[in-house]
């Protein structure tokens, strides 16, 4: 969209033009970005190479010479691999059913598929525990009483349990990628093959599948990345079975509290960061290699849906039942537990109570503080992220300064960095070593959230800004409005939906953040995520469930509001 704009002060002067205030705002935004992202990451790299005050590879040698250090690397890869397989096995068929068949209830399936996308896997792990904890899980209880046995059906505290929960929580990545590809694909590509003489199975083999494979692969890589970055699931389900992945091993080392622990955690973090980087590069590479041609779109032809015929209703029943079981039943179990006087009690009216809610909301200091903290943190981070994101988006999209690609990368990349790595980098950079100590304060949490989540606000605002044609601003300038007046009167009203959506997109995930918070919270700054984790880990399932239930409701409401504003079906936090 490059177009010559001779004489425009906005561009000929460039961003570093005559307006001093504008320059100051831009400089501040970039400085914040450097301090929140670049400095901590540099500190992380640097520290991983320092041993006894000298440059050395000793830390890495330590990592690769002790089983308890390299085993987590291997386990991360295996867990990521299998979750990715489960995600593809679920996501691909569902995407095809929703995008390309006349299966009844497709709209409902679409929403159900996005549910795990909105809720954090931590809640998934909690919920599945209610169902499949070895002794007292609802399903295991049912199984044992039906079969008259004392061996549970399935132990959630296992590698298989982690794979299952992660798979259920990452399949939307594959689902969304494949559904998008199937819907975007021009139906005439397939019709052309039919008219050439190919039957539908042949069309699928020669045309549809080859065109969708890159999207499947890209979705699977995201599933892998998401799994490798996740802390909640392996922490709740794996540590009890002494299975450590990178995130949990790093956590354990940080918790150890001494220099040696931090040192090893730092090196392991760099390994995890490298893994994430490889996955992101792979994802980008696949998407870029995708044959982009033939997108010359003509009139939209009605998408040809496969008629399932007599399989239509049986298949619908199976699919809906399966989706209900995997996505809804754990949540239902969670809600049920939240009304029980104690976990494990049979479901009877006499055992039901609202006490848990009263307790977490009004009595228990930990949860009360955590809720308040998380609300403050989420509002502060979302607001800061929108301000920062808007300034950066304007710099990148409108002012077109030199080096804008670097700015774009510095906002985008941290979103893909595992939270554990980012949190450790924050500790290294901001706990006094470089003159500022934010440790144990809200400050370090906000900086970490900003680094990780500003991307959501930035992306949405940038997308809205792109829509604002330069002539809109030019018309305001020629009418006599200055830069800030133009921003206020023209640009701001036009991108307001993007700003609101950006705010909510940061608010929702920070409200329930666990991975970074668990490493960064202090005695006075526990968050909801931390409280959930601690209560669940300590076995107070009924109280944890009540807190989780409140969180689920808040997240769903936030998402509904967001959908109303953005009007898009697929945006989710």
Partner 1 sequence: MASISLRHVSKLFGSVRAVNDALLDIADGEIICFLGPSGCGKTTTLRMIAGFDRPTSGEILIGDKVVSSAKDNVPPERRNLGMVFQNYAVWPHMNVFANVAYPLKLRRVPKRDLRQKVQHTISLVGLEGLEKRYPEQLSGGEQQRVALARSLVMEPVALLLDEPLSNLDAKLREKMRFELMDLHRQIGVTMVYVTHDQAEAMVLSDRVVVMNRGRVVQVDSPMAIYGEPRDPFVADFIGLANFVPVVLQDESAGQGVAESTGPARTRYRCRVRPHAGRALPAKGTLFVRPEDVAILPPEKGEVKGTITRATFLGTRLDVRVDVDEVEWRADASTDSDLHEGRQVGLSIRRAIFFDS
Binding site for partner 1 (CB under 8 A): 186, 188-189, 191-199, 202, 206-207, 210-211, 291-294, 296-299, 304
- Residue whose CB is less far from partner 1, 191 or 534: 191
Q: Label each residue of 529-562 as H, E or C.
A: HHHHHHHHHCCCHHHHHHHHHHHHHHHHHHHHHH
Cα dihedral across residues 194, 199, 205, 208: positive or negative: positive
SS3 content of the chain, % helix, strand, coil (to 5): 75, 0, 25
SS3 101: strand
Q: At its nearest, how many Å lie between partner 1 and the CB of residue 191?
A: 6
**Region class of 353: left (phi > 0), else alpha (psi between -120 and 50), else beta:** beta
In this structure, are residues 244 and 72 in contact, taking their beta carbons and an 8 Å threshold?
A: yes
* Residue of 49, 297, 330 lying closest to 186 (CA atoms): 297
- Residue whose CB is less far from partner 1, 195 or 259: 195
Spatial separation of the C-alpha atoms in residues 444 and 432, rounded to whole Å: 11
- Residue whose CB is less far from partner 1, 211 or 221: 211
Spatial separation of the C-alpha atoms in residues 491 and 485, rounded to whole Å: 9
- Residue whose CB is less far from partner 1, 115 or 203: 203
Q: At its nearest, how many Å lie between partner 1 and the CB of residue 511?
A: 42
Q: At its nearest, how many Å lie between partner 1 and the CB of residue 199?
A: 6
Q: At its nearest, how many Å lie between partner 1 and the CB of residue 285?
A: 16
- Residue whose CB is less far from partner 1, 205 or 496: 205
Spatial separation of the C-alpha atoms in residues 376 and 45, rounded to whole Å: 32
Q: At its nearest, how many Å lie between partner 1 and the CB of residue 187?
A: 9
Count Cβ atoms below 10 Å from residue 407 Cβ, excluding itself. Answer: 20
- Residue whose CB is less far from partner 1, 92 or 532: 92
Q: At its nearest, how many Å lie between partner 1 and the CB of residue 297?
A: 6
Exposed e or buried b for every residue in 427-439, given b needs 16+ CB within 10 A?
bbbbeeeeeeebe
Q: At its nearest, how many Å lie between partner 1 and the CB of residue 192?
A: 4
What values do phi and psi take at 410, rounded to 5? Answer: -70, -25
- Residue whose CB is less far from partner 1, 198 or 252: 198
Q: At its nearest, how many Å lie between partner 1 and the CB of residue 202?
A: 7
Q: At its nearest, how many Å lie between partner 1 and the CB of residue 306?
A: 13
Q: What is the CA radius of gyration of the chain?
A: 25
- Residue whose CB is less far from partner 1, 20 or 201: 201
Q: Label each residue of 337-360 as H, E or C.
A: HHCECCCCCCCCHHHECCHHHHHH
- Residue whose CB is less far from partner 1, 211 or 531: 211
Question: At a CB cut-off of 8 Å and minimum separation 6, what does 81 contact?
Answer: 224
């Amino acid at each position: 969209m490059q177009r010559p704009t001779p004489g425009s002060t906005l561009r000929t002067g460039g961003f570093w033009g005559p307006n001093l205030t504008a320059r100051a705002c831009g400089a501040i935004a970039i400085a914040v970005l450097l301090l929140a992202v670049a400095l901590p990451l540099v500190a992380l790299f640097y520290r991983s190479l320092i041993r006894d005050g000298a440059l050395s590879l000793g830390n890495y040698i330590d990592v690769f010479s002790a089983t308890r250090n390299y085993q987590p690397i291997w386990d991360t890869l295996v867990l990521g691999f299998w979750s990715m397989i489960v995600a593809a096995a679920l996501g691909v068929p569902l995407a095809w059913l929703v995008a390309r068949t006349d299966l009844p209830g497709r709209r409902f399936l679409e929403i159900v598929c996005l549910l795990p996308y909105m809720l954090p896997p931590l809640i998934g792990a909690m919920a599945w525990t209610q169902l499949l904890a070895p002794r007292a899980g609802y399903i295991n209880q049912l199984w044992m009483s039906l079969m008259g046995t004392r061996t549970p059906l399935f132990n959630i505290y296992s590698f298989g349990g982690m794979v299952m929960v992660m798979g259920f929580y990452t399949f939307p990545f594959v689902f969304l990628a494949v559904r998008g590809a199937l819907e975007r694909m021009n139906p005439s590509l397939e019709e052309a093959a039919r008219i050439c003489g190919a039957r539908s199975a042949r069309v699928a083999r020669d045309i549809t599948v080859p065109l969708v494979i890159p999207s499947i692969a890209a979705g699977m890589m995201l599933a892998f990345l998401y799994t490798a970055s996740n802390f909640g699931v392996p922490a709740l389900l794996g540590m009890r079975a002494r299975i450590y992945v990178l995130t949990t091993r790093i956590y354990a080392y940080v918790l150890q509290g001494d220099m040696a622990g931090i040192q090893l955690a730092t090196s392991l973090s760099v390994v995890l960061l490298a893994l994430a980087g490889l996955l992101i590069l792979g994802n980008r590479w696949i998407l870029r290699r995708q044959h982009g041609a033939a997108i010359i779109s003509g009139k939209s032809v009605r998408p040809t849906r496969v008629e399932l015929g007599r399989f239509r209703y049986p298949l619908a029943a199976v699919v809906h039942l399966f989706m209900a079981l995997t996505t809804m039943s754990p949540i239902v179990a969670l809600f049920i537990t939240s009304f029980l006087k104690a976990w494990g009690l049979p479901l009877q009216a006499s055992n039901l109570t609202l006490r848990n809610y009263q307790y977490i909301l009004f009595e228990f200091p930990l949860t009360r503080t955590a809720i308040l903290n998380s609300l403050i943190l989420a509002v502060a981070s979302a607001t800061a992220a929108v301000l920062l994101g808007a300034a950066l988006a304007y710099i990148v999209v409108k002012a077109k300064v030199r080096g804008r690609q670097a700015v774009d990368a510095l906002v985008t990349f941290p979103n893909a960095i595992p939270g554990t790595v980012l949190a450790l980098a924050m500790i290294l950079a901001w706990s006094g070593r470089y003159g500022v100590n934010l440790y144990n304060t809200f400050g370090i949490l906000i900086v970490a959230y900003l680094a990780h989540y500003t991307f959501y606000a930035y992306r949405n605002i940038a997308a809205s800004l792109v829509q604002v044609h330069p002539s809109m601003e030019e018309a305001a300038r020629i009418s006599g409005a200055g830069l800030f007046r133009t921003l206020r009167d023209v640009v701001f009203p036009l991108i307001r939906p993007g700003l609101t959506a950006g705010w909510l997109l940061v608010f929702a995930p920070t409200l329930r953040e666990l991975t970074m918070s668990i490493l960064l919270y202090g005695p006075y700054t526990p968050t909801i995520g931390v409280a959930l984790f601690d209560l669940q880990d300590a076995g107070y399932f009924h109280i944890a469930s009540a807190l989780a239930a409140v969180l689920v409701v808040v997240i769903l409401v936030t998402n509904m509001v967001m959908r109303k504003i953005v009007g898009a079906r697929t945006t989710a936090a």
